[in-house]
Amino acid sequence: MKKLISTAVAAAVMATSAMAAEYTLKFSHVVSENTPKGKAAKYFEQRLEELSGGKIDVQVYPSSQLYNDNAVVKALRLNSVQMAAPSFSKFGKIVPQLALFDLPFLFNDIDHLHRVQDGEVGTKLKDMVTEKGIVALDFWDNGFKQFTSSKKALVMPSDAEGQKFRIMSSKVLEAQMKAVGGNPQMMPFSEVYSGLQQGVIDAAENPISNIYTKKFHEVQSYLTISDHGYLGYLVVMSKKFWKSLPADLQANVKQAMKEATAKEREYAQQLNDSQFAEIKEYAEKTGKLEIINLTADQRAAWKKAVSKIYPEFYDEDKIGKDLIEGAINTK
C-alpha cells in the first residue's frame, strides 16, 4: 500500500493526475514489488509519468493481481492490460526463436549477453514478437543458471552421466542434458524441492534466486557456478495501446524503458550477489554444500560437449542459424 500522506495533499495529487492524464497504462506482472522486476516496474512508472508530464498514468499491478503469465499475452492482445513482463518460456509457441537463450554456454558472460540483447540479434527477436501482434520493448534479467546435484559434483561434462536432471519443458534443455549423458526429467517447478529431497531427481539447473528462495541448496550437496544458461523476461506492450500514442509519447515510453532496463539489470545483479553470499555462508556454517567455481579449462570442456547440439536448432522454425551465429559473433 502507498504511504498515507495528508488527506488534502493526496486528494490534490489525485485530482491533478486525473486532470492531466490522457492515457492509462496498466502494467501487470507476477512477482512482488521488492524483486528486481517489481522495483524496475515502479521505476518505469515514475519515469514515464515524469517524462510524459503526467499525460500517461502508469498503474503497476504486482503479484498476479490482474493476470498470471499464462493469461497476460491474451489480455495484451485485447488491450485489457497495456504492459507485462512474462518469462521467455511464455512466448515459446508464438516465437520459438527465444529458445536462443536456453542454448548452453552460448554467452561468455553477462556483458556478452547484454550486448546480444541490445544489438542486432536482440532487435531481430523483438521484431519477431512484434510481428505477432504484441510490441516487444526490452529484455530484463532473472539470471544465469547454475547446476546443483546431490549425487556427484558437476565439474567436468562426464560428471553428468547417468544423473537425473530436472528441466523445464524445452527441446533445447532436453538436448543439452542428453549431450552430456544426463537423464532429463520434466517436472513442475513446484515439485522440484520435494523431488530433490526424496531423490526422485539428482540434479537441477536454476538461477541463484531460485536456488536461494526455494532452499534447493539445503537438499543438494554440490553447487557448480556454471553460468551455462539464462533466464529472463521480455517486457511487452499492447499494440493497440502503442499505436494510440502520439510519436512524442512513444519516445517517452522508449526512454523510460531504456532507463528502467538499466536499473533492472543492476537490481538483478545485486540480488544475485547478496543471495549467493547467503548460500556461501550456509555452506561454510554447515559443511553440507560444496561450491565449485569452474576454471576456464573446465568451462571450455563443458562448452565443447554441449555446443554440438547447436546445429539441431539451425532451422528457422526452431531458432535459426543466423541468430545462433549472430549471438556467438557479437563483440
Which pLDDT score, from 0 to 100, does residue 163 have? 98
Alpha-helical runs (H) found in 5-118:
7-20, 36-51, 69-77, 110-118
One DSSP character per residue, 237-260 reads EEHHHHHHS-HHHHHHHHHHHHHH
Which pLDDT score, from 0 to 100, does residue 69 have? 87
Which pLDDT score, from 0 to 100, does residue 227 have? 97
Which pLDDT score, from 0 to 100, does residue 19 have? 55
Instruction: Say which residues have a Cβ less than 8 Å from residue 56's Cβ, sequence separation at least 6.
Output: 21, 22, 23, 24, 25, 48, 49, 245, 249, 252, 253
Q: Is residue 153 part of a domain?
A: yes
Which sign, positive or negative, has the C-alpha torsion 96, 98, 102, 104?
Answer: positive
39: left (phi over 0), alpha (psi -120 to 50) or beta: alpha
Which pLDDT score, from 0 to 100, does residue 6 have? 44
- Rounded distance between C-alpha atoms, residue 138 and residue 123, angstroms: 9
- The CA-atom distances, in angstroms, between 185 and each of 148, 206, 215 are 14, 14, 20
CATH at 304: 3.40.190.170
Q: Is residue 149 part of a domain?
A: yes
Q: Is residue 2 part of a domain?
A: no
Low-confidence residues of the chain: pLDDT under 70: 1-19
- The CA-atom distances, in angstroms, between 246 and each of 92, 216, 236, 329 are 31, 48, 18, 37
Number of domains in the chain: 1
How many whole angstroms from its chain centre is CA 140?
A: 6
Q: Is residue 79 part of a domain?
A: yes
Which pLDDT score, from 0 to 100, does residue 20 have? 73
Report pLDDT digits (tens) over 103-113: 999 999 999 99
- The CA-atom distances, in angstroms, between 119 and each of 43, 125, 180, 298, 323 are 24, 10, 31, 29, 11
Q: Is residue 96 part of a domain?
A: yes
- Rounded distance between C-alpha atoms, residue 307 and residue 316, angstroms: 18
| HSE-up of residue 72 (Cα within 13 Å, Cβ side) | 28
Q: Is residue 262 part of a domain?
A: yes
Say if residues 96 and 318 touch (Cβ distance below 8 Å): yes
Report pLDDT digits (tens) over 58-89: 999 999 999 998 899 999 999 999 999 999 98
pTM of full prediction above 0.85:
yes
Instruction: Say which residues have a Cβ less than 8 Å from residue 8's Cβ, sequence separation at least 6.
Output: none
Domain membership of residue 134 as a residue range:
7-329
Q: Is residue 14 part of a domain?
A: yes
Report pLDDT digits (tens) over 192-216: 999 999 999 999 999 999 999 999 9
Q: Is residue 1 part of a domain?
A: no
Q: Is 38 exposed, middle or buried (0-12, 13-18, 19+ CB in 10 A)?
A: buried
- Rounded distance between C-alpha atoms, residue 72 and residue 90, angstroms: 9
CB-based contacts of 74-82 (< 8 A; 24+ apart in sequence): 75/28, 76/134, 76/236, 76/237, 76/238, 77/133, 77/134, 77/238, 77/239, 79/238, 79/240, 79/241, 81/26, 81/27, 81/28, 81/238, 82/24, 82/25, 82/26, 82/27, 82/237, 82/238, 82/241
Which pLDDT score, from 0 to 100, does residue 9 have? 41
Which residues are 148's β-sheet partners?
Answer: 204, 223
